[in-house]
Structure 1
């Protein structure tokens, strides 16, 4: 695996909490249908039980450059390490009866390549039209001529957001932070 994508730079800038996700806890997920890398269409509002939805800017691809200045953008770098951490902790999350989804604005073909290359045991969801940004006022930024999601993780129960991790830093520890929160919340 390409270590340029899986390793985080030592000088990675830490994002600050700008309050852009403070309004999310308690909100119901919208009735938005998103294509998944497993071929399904997932309606977020209909997701039953406990779900972890980690939202990330974009996954890089070996041999293709990231947007200019990517490593200097606080919170941009680390999508592959974050996905790999959720992969590595997937069994533990499943034991806590938590489903997992990754979500970005990248199209399903791009995401399918990443899901296969990274051996992800859960689907990635494509929100190319930024429907969640519009419905939930999710935080975004621009890089390389694209509007991308800022990194955040939602814990959802029966379609309602019960916990938000924002900002997420470092991204490779997000899955462990989610598991620790689930245990502290009496889930395990």
Structure 2
């Protein structure tokens, strides 16, 4: 899927993620598409979490005007980019890699299967984690969605934040470059 990112509005840094660097994450249980329950606050080692608003689904229309919302378009390209370099992310020190959105578990499960993802997706459909962590959010057609970002988490603490993320398909490569330049000592 080739997207002309220059034809889409890019997001601006609204300061919505500034508080996250150095923050301890809330201990909230999230359902993962591999059947596990994950608390990002309790994971040991380095964790990569890429956050996206919502993915499309074949045969279901996206919200009206979706492409005109800065930073909304590109969830599937972002997810596929992380899928395609998953092994390199692990080799660069990521003990865990997750995708994250406020979409419900069934929606996430369908996406994980359709895209053959090697990592789980996390669902925060009740917004408990998003609210507690004060993630930057947006409302579209009565849906509360997370704005796109990526987190590097070391033992439950946020070490680095990528925000805003644009274009989304380059986020995985940016995360990989950061991991390679900021290796943790074992």
> TM-score higher than 0.5 here?
yes
The within-5 A match list for 1:155-174 is 155-174=152-171
Distance 1:106 1:24 in 2: 22
Within a 5 Å distance, the mapping from 1:87-106 to structure 2 comes to 87-98=83-94, 99-106=96-103
The CA distance in 1 between the partners of 2:30 and 2:183, in whole Å, is 30
- The corresponding residue for 2:61 is 65
Residue among 47, 51, 54 paired with 1:55? 51
Runs of at least 5 residues in structure 2 that lack an aligned partner in the other structure: none
Identify which of 31, 35, 38 aligns with 1:39.
35
> Using the alignment, how far apart are the partners of 2:178 and 2:27 within structure 1?
27
The alignment status of 1:185 with 2:182, answered yes or no, reads yes
TM superposition outliers: structure 1 runs of 4+ over 3 Å:
none
Find the aligned partners of 1:132 and 1:13 in 2 and give their Cα distance.
28
Alpha-carbon distance between aligned partners in 2 of 1:70 and 1:60, rounded to the nearest angstrom = 11
Give me the TM-score of the superposition, normalised by structure 1: 0.94
> If the length of structure 2 is used for normalisation, what is the TM-score?
0.95
Q: Where in structure 1 are there 5+ consecutive unaligned residues?
A: 1-5
Residue 139 in 1 paired to residue 146 in 2? no
Q: Does 1:12 align with 2:8?
A: yes
Q: CA RMSD in A?
A: 1.3
Contact 1:8 1:77 in 2 (8 A): no
In structure 2, how many angstroms separate the alpha carbons of the residues matched to 1:38 and 1:84?
A: 17
Paired residues in the alignment total 183
Q: Which residue of 2 aligns with 1:3?
A: none
Cα deviation digits, residues 149-170 of structure 1 (max 9, x gap): 0001000011100000000000
